[in-house]
Structure 1
């Protein structure tokens, strides 16, 4: 047989009455379909992240370099807002000092109280779940405006606290929230009262500690204090670390209680002028939104530095369980 042999596809095309075979479509892999489904479910969060978080942050960063009185277009002024903040604005430093003092007293107290109550509520007694729920309730309502009004009523000169003192024979007309020496301490007490979230986290961590460690310590004759400082506390250091960071960030952002207790003024004598309250005053009362944006970014940097210090020093006191 002579001649050139044609390829099979040409033979198929040459046969009368038959159309050419359609091209094969590439198959979509199972992993590709799963990725598309995952992005579809993530899309609401991604849209929220861009539209509600990242977008406004970038806008505020731009506004921090402008003079923006809200009712007029922003005017670019470069670093003037930051220069004025650091060199001319004494109230900025006052608000920062008040916030740091509030943080320094309230955060350690919240962590200590939460840890002690978690240890107390770890007992096996009847109805312990009811006690846990009762102790957690302040965290659900403590940050509300209604509780802030109640707190103000509690510590006024004719408030509940002075009424209780008069009942026990201690005559007092002292306004605990009306005097610069004690106004901030009332807000510290309110923050400590909201220990429930940290307490629940501590309680969950305590329940994960192996009972065999305590049994071995008992065999060695270790008492309750020795068991706490040698077993419980070292194992709980990562949880202490977490609760400290979360409460530090929350303390820097505290606003509601100071606003309600001081009627938005930060008084008396700026003793409750939290940083966020001062930011609010400059942005929404003085209509200096550019300056308020600069205050917000300085707060962001301060929080980042403080949290970075926590992480940098964590290796010295936090036991992560992988040390040899």
Structure 2
């Protein structure tokens, strides 16, 4: 005897979403202010930038449709943009993983010390992140100043390593390493605090259970218990670090100038700023911003596949 299986029709996604919103209407009402601000100040500007990237727009005249002309010019004729992309990727490849691992290790070490001392260490490591980039670059400009009064030049001359001052912020070989060093110093930001908060909330029962199962050393606890327990914080920190690495702008402009010597410190953000607020070619600047946006989205998708989960 053969029985026919009748396919069960599933409601559409929109209908399911509407039913869910009606069922939990109070929760969605609480979310409404944030969603409204998110749509107005995040979604709408992104969609506007995508639209403007296909136009010629100089603020004074109405946008004029040019199709893919901006993108063709960007990738074919704009050599400075290719330099900016190369510099940004080099910067992100170094500062991203290094500052991410460094922030997690420092947060883990701080979580191991007594509670009454944690605030002091957290304050010292987090202060560079909340200090304005202008104030921090004043300090670093003094350190890397190219004259004899620069602190690093003074030390190196006294030690006999240098015979004359070295132009740290004018030499194309040292501009990017200096930017990386300064950015690493300022990278203990929101990701660092999220790591610290997640580590403090790991249940002690997990460590007790691990000790029964044979986990004895701190590094074993870190690998088998701590890291799996803070995966949401690891994901958040990775996303924030990608955004921080690809949006480098203030440090580059303040230290290396705009434009920097032979564009050695030129990044995608500085290139977009140049065309938007100096040349007032908003359509072309929007196409640069769209490329940066797609680069961020692609990297974040990779991070979600590695650290994300269905939940």
Q: Is this a same-fold pair by TM over 0.5?
A: yes
Q: Which residue of 1 aligns with 2:225?
A: 231
Match of 2:120 among 93, 118, 130: 130
CA change 1:54–1:169 in 2 (3 A) is same
**Aligned residues of 1:234 and 1:319 also touching (Cα < 8 A):** no
Q: Structure 1, residues 78-136: CA drift from partner, whole Å, max 9, x if none? A: 11111111222222211111111111100111112112211221211653322222222
Deviations 1:273-302 (A, max 9, x none): 110100111222222211111111121112
Query: How far apart in 1 are the matches of 2:160 and 2:276?
Result: 47
TM-score (norm 1): 0.76
The answer on 1:191 being equivalent to 2:183 is yes
Partner of 2:7: none
8 Å Cα contact 1:102/1:188 also seen in 2? yes
RMSD across aligned positions (CA): 3.1
1:257 to 226, 237, 251: 251
Larger Rg: 1
Give the 3 Å change call, closer, same or farther, for CA 321–284 of structure 1 in structure 2.
closer
Task: Count matched residues.
Answer: 284
Q: CA 1:202/1:269 → structure 2, altered by over 3 Å: closer, same or farther? A: same
Q: In the alignment, is the contact (CA less than 8 A) between 2:168 and 2:174 conserved in 1? A: yes
- Structure 2 length as normaliser, TM-score? 0.79
Alpha-carbon shift at residue 140 of structure 1 (Å):
0.7
Whole-angstrom distance in 2 between the partners of 1:63 and 1:217: 56
- What does residue range 98-109 of structure 1 map to in structure 2 within 5 Å? 98-109=87-98
Change (3 A) 1:212 1:58: closer
The 3-state SS of whatever aligns with 2:262 is: coil
Partners in 1 of 2:134 and 2:54 — Cα distance?
Answer: 33
Q: Counterpart of 2:295?
A: 302
Q: CA deviation at 1:229?
A: 2.4
Measure how far apart 1:209 and its partner are. Answer: 2.0
Alpha-carbon separation, structure 2, partners of 1:321 and 1:304: 19
CA drift of 1:305 comes to 1.4
Cross-structure match for 2:143:
154
Shift of 1:49: 4.4
Question: How far apart, in 2, do the equivalents of 1:168 and 1:94 lie?
Answer: 36
Would you say the 8 A contact 1:68–1:290 is kept in 2?
yes
Mapped partners of 2:27, 2:309: distance in 1: 36
- CA separation of 1:52 and 1:202: change in aligned 2, threshold 3 A: closer
Give distance in 1, aligned partners of 2:63 and 2:249.
27
Alpha-carbon separation, structure 1, partners of 2:115 and 2:41: 47
Alpha-carbon distance in 1 for matches of 2:84, 2:125: 32
Which residue is equivalent to 1:115? 104
Unaligned residue ranges in structure 1 (runs of 5+): 1-31
Q: Give 2:199's aligned residue.
A: 206
